C-alpha cells in the first residue's frame, strides 16, 4: 500500500527518513486493522456470554429450590449453559481467560445446587465484568409507536408467547423449555433490556427461540422495551423520576439491580419507567444532563470497586456531554468552562485510585455544583446576537484552518511542479471528506450512536497520520530548496508520470486533513444552535458564512503570493508551513487520544496551554511535539554537513 510519498520524489539522502516513516505508518495501519477485527470477534463473544449469564441467573429459580431440582429439563439446561460459558472463557485469549474464574464459580454453584441468590450473585458478577470490557452499545434514538411495536410482536412473537405475553401462544404447548412469560414480575425484575435485545437478535441455543435477523435495529429495540414493560403495566401509578438515568445503564442492568444501586431513583420510579419508557428518550439529549448522569454512574461504579468502568464513564461525561457545549459556555464564562474541564480531567485520575474516596466526593460535589451553574447560565440567559456570530465564526476558523492549509499546500506544490493533472486527486480527497463527514453525522443521528471516545480516537489517529505524512513531505520539500537541486530534479522527473499509488496517496492525505474536522464541526454547530432562538439562527449562519469568507481570503492570499515566490523560496516557506502543521497536529493527536483515555495524562508542573498550536500542559503532548522538532533539527544538521563535505 503506497501510503507514503512516491519513492521517485525522494533524493538519496532522504531514504532513511522515508523508510522509517513508511514503516511507522504501515505499522499503525496494520495494528489498527488487526485491532478492529479482534475487537469485533471479542465483543460478539462477550455479548453472547453476557446473554447466557443473565439467562442462567434468571431461570435458575425455575430449576432448583432449596437445593432440590424441581424441573429436570430446566436444570439440565442450566448445566449446559454454564458449561458453555466455561468453554467460551477457557480460551488462551487473555480477555476471556480473565473471566474463566468467575465462570467456573458459577458452574460450581449450579452443579452443587446452591441457593438461587448465590447463583444470581455469581451470574451478576460475571455479567458486570463482561459489560465493563465491552464498548458501549449503539443505542436507539427513538422507539416505534406502541401500535407499530404491538403489530411486530403479534406477527413475530405471539404464536409462542401469546398476545398478552404470558407464554401461552398456540405453539407453546409443544415447546420445551416453555416460552418466557413476560408478565412474570419476579423474573422481569432480574432481566435487562440488553438481555432481551440479544435474545431477539441472536436467539437462544438449544431452545425454540430463533434469531430475528430480518428485523432492523430499531424494531428489535422496540420489541425489547415492549416485552420488558409487560410485567410492570399493573404497577402503582406512574411517578415522574426525580433524577435522570443514562440510557446505557438503563439498558445494561435489570430493574432489581438499578433499584438497589442507583442513587436518587426509587423502586416505583424504576418500575414506572420500565412500564412507560418515553421519558428515557426525551431527557437524554442535553449535554450537561448527560455529563451529570455519567458522573453519577461513575461514582456508583467506583463505590462498587469497578474502577475501569468508572474511568470510562468519566471519559464519556466529558466527551459525550460537556465538550459539546464548551463553545457556548466560553461565550458566557470562560473561566467556568476551564475550571469544569480541569475538574473533569482530575476526576478520571481520582476514579482510577481506590484510596481517594474523600477526594472523589469533594471533587464530585464541586464539579456538579459548577455544572449546575453552567446549566443555569445556558438556560436562563440567551447568547447575544454578537456572541452567537463570534462563536460560529470561531468554530469554523478553528476547525477549518488546519485542513485548508494542508489542502492548499498540496495544491500549490503540484502547480509549482507542473503537475496540474494530479490536482483532481487532491480535490477528490477533500470533497469526499466533506461528504463522508456529513454522512457520518447523519448516520450517527438516525441509525447508530458514535460515542465521544470513538470520535476522539478517530480524530487522534487521523491527526497523527496526517502529522507524520506532513513531516515527511516537509523534509522532501526542504531537499529541493536549493535551486540547483530543483533544476536537477526537474530534468530527471519532468516527464515521469507519478504512479497511481502516489496520486491516491495525495487523495488520502487531503481526505484525512478534512474529514477529521468535518464531523466534529457539525456537532459543535448543532450544539450551538440549541443555545439560540429561531430568530437568532441568521447570526449563526452569518458567522459561518463570514468564516468561509475569511478562509477564502487566506486561501487566495497564500495561493497568489506562493506562486510568485522564487522556486527555492517557495519550497523553503512551504517546508516550514508543513512542519508547523505537523507540529500542531501531533499535539492535537495526543490531546485527542488523552481525552479518549487511550494515552495517559502526566501534567506539567506549570499550566501551559495554547490550543491554536496544539500545546497542552502534559508531558506526553510536549514530548511528541518535541520529537517532531528534534527530528527536523537532526535532519537539517545532517543535510548541511553533507553540503559542506561536497
pLDDT in tens, 457-499: 666 676 677 677 667 666 755 655 544 454 454 444 433 444 5
The count of other CB atoms within 10 Å of the CB of residue 193 is 22
**Stretch 600-605: mean pLDDT:** 76
24-38, 208-222, 290-304, 402-416: least confident range:
24-38
Contact in structure between 426 and 407 (CB atoms under 8 Å): yes
The count of other CB atoms within 10 Å of the CB of residue 112 is 10
- The conformation of residue 239, written as its DSSP 8-state character, comes to -
- The conformation of residue 600, written as its DSSP 8-state character, comes to -
**Stretch 375-394: mean pLDDT:** 73
- Considering the chain, what is the average pLDDT of its residues? 76
76-90, 397-411, 492-506: least confident range:
492-506
Rounded to whole angstroms, how far apart are CA atoms 383 and 532?
7
pLDDT of residue 618: 81
* Cα dihedral 38, 39, 44, 46 sign: positive
Q: What share of the chain is helix, strand, coil (3-state, %, to 5)?
A: 75, 0, 25
pLDDT of residue 258: 85
249-263, 281-295, 450-464: least confident range:
450-464
Closest CA to 511 of 452, 465, 553, 548: 465
Residue 513 Cα distances to 313, 410, 644, angstroms? 30, 11, 37
**Stretch 74-101: mean pLDDT:** 82
Supply 565's cell numbers: 515566490
Ramachandran angles phi, psi of 196, nearest 5°: -65, -45
Ramachandran angles phi, psi of 412, nearest 5°: -65, -35
Most confident range, picked from 25-34, 147-156, 617-626 = 147-156
Residue 46 Cα distances to 41, 50, 211, 224, 329, angstroms? 9, 6, 17, 20, 40
Q: How many CA within 13 A on the CB side of residue 629?
A: 9
Using pLDDT thresholds of 50, 70 and 90, give the confidence band for residue 69: very high
Closest CA to 253 of 45, 454, 57, 450: 57
How many residues are listed for the chain in this entry? Answer: 646
Using pLDDT thresholds of 50, 70 and 90, give the confidence band for residue 270: confident
Supply 6's cell numbers: 512516491
- Please report, for the chain, how many H helices and E strands are present, in that order: 26, 2
237-241, 568-572, 583-587: least confident range:
237-241
Supply 107's cell numbers: 458452574
Supply 46's cell numbers: 462477550
Using pLDDT thresholds of 50, 70 and 90, give the confidence band for residue 629: confident
Residue that the C-alpha cell 446576537 belongs to: 385
Ramachandran angles phi, psi of 3, nearest 5°: -80, -25
Q: Has residue 47 got a pLDDT over 60? A: yes
pLDDT 10s digits, 141-199: 778 888 889 999 999 999 999 999 999 999 988 888 789 999 999 889 999 999 899 89
**What share of the chain has pLDDT > 70, as a percent?**
73
- The conformation of residue 321, written as its DSSP 8-state character, comes to I
Q: What is the pTM of this model?
A: 0.47
Residue 36 Cα distances to 26, 47, 320, 441, angstroms? 15, 16, 22, 21
Closest CA to 316 of 95, 137, 465, 50: 137
Rounded to whole angstroms, how far apart are CA atoms 108 and 119?
9
Contact in structure between 511 and 433 (CB atoms under 8 Å): yes
**Stretch 487-512: mean pLDDT:** 56
The count of other CB atoms within 10 Å of the CB of residue 70 is 12
Rounded to whole angstroms, how far apart are CA atoms 624 and 629?
9
Q: Has residue 636 got a pLDDT over 90? A: no
Most confident range, picked from 258-267, 427-436, 579-588, 591-600 = 427-436
Residue that the C-alpha cell 464513564 belongs to: 313
Residue 47 Cα distances to 40, 44, 202, 204, 341, angstroms? 11, 5, 10, 13, 34
Residue 615 Cα distances to 201, 234, 318, 560, 625, angstroms? 46, 58, 20, 30, 8
**Stretch 346-374: mean pLDDT:** 84
Closest CA to 618 of 605, 628, 630: 605
Rounded to whole angstroms, how far apart are CA atoms 186 and 391?
53
- Answer whether the bond into residue 177 is a cis peptide, omega within 30°: yes
Q: Has residue 45 got a pLDDT over 90? A: no
Amino acid at each position: 500500500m503506497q501510503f507514503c510519498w512516491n519513492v521517485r520524489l525522494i533524493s538519496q539522502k532522504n531514504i532513511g527518513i522515508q523508510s522509517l516513516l513508511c514503516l511507522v505508518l504501515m505499522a499503525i495501519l496494520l495494528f489498527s486493522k488487526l485491532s478492529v477485527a479482534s475487537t469485533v470477534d471479542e465483543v460478539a463473544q462477550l455479548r453472547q456470554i453476557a446473554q447466557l449469564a443473565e439467562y442462567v441467573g434468571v431461570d435458575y429459580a425455575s430449576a432448583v429450590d432449596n437445593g432440590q431440582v424441581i424441573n429436570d429439563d430446566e436444570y439440565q439446561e442450566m448445566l449446559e449453559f454454564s458449561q458453555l460459558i466455561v468453554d467460551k472463557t477457557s480460551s488462551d485469549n487473555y480477555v476471556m481467560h480473565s473471566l474463566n474464574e468467575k465462570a467456573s464459580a458459577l458452574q460450581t454453584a449450579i452443579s452443587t445446587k446452591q441457593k438461587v441468590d448465590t447463583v444470581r450473585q455469581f451470574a451478576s458478577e460475571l455479567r458486570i465484568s463482561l459489560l465493563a470490557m465491552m464498548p458501549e452499545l449503539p443505542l436507539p434514538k427513538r422507539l416505534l409507536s406502541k401500535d407499530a411495536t404491538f403489530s411486530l410482536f403479534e406477527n413475530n412473537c405471539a404464536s409462542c408467547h401469546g398476545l398478552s405475553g404470558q407464554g401461552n401462544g398456540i405453539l407453546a404447548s409443544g415447546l420445551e423449555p416453555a416460552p418466557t412469560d413476560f408478565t412474570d414480575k419476579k423474573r422481569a425484575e432480574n432481566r435487562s433490556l440488553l438481555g432481551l435485545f440479544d435474545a431477539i437478535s441472536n436467539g437462544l441455543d438449544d431452545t425454540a427461540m430463533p434469531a430475528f435477523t430480518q428485523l432492523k435495529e430499531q424494531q428489535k429495540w422496540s420489541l425489547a422495551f415492549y416485552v420488558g414493560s409487560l410485567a410492570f403495566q399493573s404497577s402503582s401509578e406512574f411517578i415522574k423520576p426525580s433524577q435522570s438515568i443514562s440510557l446505557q445503564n438503563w439498558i445494561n442492568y435489570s430493574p432489581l439491580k438499578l433499584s438497589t444501586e442507583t442513587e436518587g431513583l426509587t423502586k416505583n420510579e424504576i418500575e414506572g419507567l420500565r412500564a412507560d419508557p418515553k421519558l428515557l428518550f426525551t431527557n437524554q439529549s442535553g449535554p450537561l444532563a448527560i455529563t451529570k448522569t455519567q458522573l453519577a454512574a461513575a461514582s456508583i461504579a467506583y463505590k462498587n470497586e469497578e474502577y475501569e468502568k468508572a474511568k470510562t464513564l468519566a471519559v464519556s461525561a466529558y466527551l459525550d456531554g460537556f465538550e459539546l457545549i464548551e463553545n457556548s459556555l466560553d461565550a458566557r464564562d470562560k473561566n467556568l468552562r476551564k475550571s469544569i474541564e480541569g475538574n473533569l480531567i482530575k476526576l478520571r485520575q481520582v476514579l482510577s485510585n481506590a484510596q481517594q474516596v474523600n477526594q472523589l466526593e469533594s471533587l464530585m460535589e464541586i464539579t456538579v455544583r459548577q455544572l449546575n451553574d453552567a446549566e443555569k447560565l445556558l438556560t436562563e440567559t440567551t447568547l447575544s446576537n454578537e456572541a452567537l456570530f463570534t462563536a460560529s465564526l470561531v468554530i469554523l476558523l478553528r476547525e477549518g484552518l488546519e485542513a485548508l492549509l494542508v489542502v492548499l499546500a498540496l495544491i500549490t506544490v503540484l502547480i509549482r511542479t507542473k503537475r496540474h493533472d494530479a490536482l483532481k486527486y487532491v480535490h477528490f480527497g477533500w470533497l469526499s471528506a466533506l461528504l463522508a463527514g456529513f454522512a457520518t453525522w447523519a448516520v450517527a443521528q438516525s441509525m447508530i450512536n458514535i460515542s465521544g471516545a470513538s470520535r476522539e480516537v478517530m480524530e487522534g489517529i487521523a491527526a497523527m497520520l496526517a502529522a507524520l505524512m506532513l513531516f515527511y513531505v516537509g523534509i522532501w520539500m526542504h531537499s529541493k530548496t536549493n535551486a540547483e537541486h530543483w533544476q536537477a530534479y526537474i530534468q530527471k522527473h519532468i516527464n515521469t508520470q507519478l504512479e497511481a499509488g502516489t496520486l491516491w496517496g495525495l487523495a488520502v492525505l487531503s481526505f484525512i486533513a478534512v474529514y477529521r474536522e468535518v464531523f466534529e464541526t457539525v456537532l459543535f454547530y448543532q450544539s450551538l444552535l440549541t443555545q439560540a432562538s429561531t430568530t437568532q439562527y441568521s447570526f449563526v449562519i452569518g458567522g459561518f458564512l463570514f468564516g468561509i469568507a475569511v478562509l477564502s481570503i487566506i486561501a487566495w492570499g497564500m495561493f497568489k503570493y506562493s506562486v510568485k515566490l522564487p522556486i527555492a523560496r517557495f519550497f523553503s516557506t512551504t517546508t516550514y508551513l508543513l512542519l508547523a502543521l505537523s507540529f500542531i497536529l501531533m499535539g492535537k493527536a495526543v490531546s485527542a487520544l488523552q481525552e479518549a483515555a487511550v494515552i495517559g495524562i502526566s501534567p506539567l508542573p506549570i499550566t501551559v496551554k495554547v490550543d491554536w498550536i496544539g500545546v497542552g500542559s502534559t508531558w506526553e503532548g510536549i514530548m511528541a511535539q518535541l520529537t517532531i522538532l528534534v527530528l527536523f533539527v537532526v535532519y537539517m544538521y545532517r543535510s548541511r554537513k553533507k553540503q559542506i563535505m561536497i
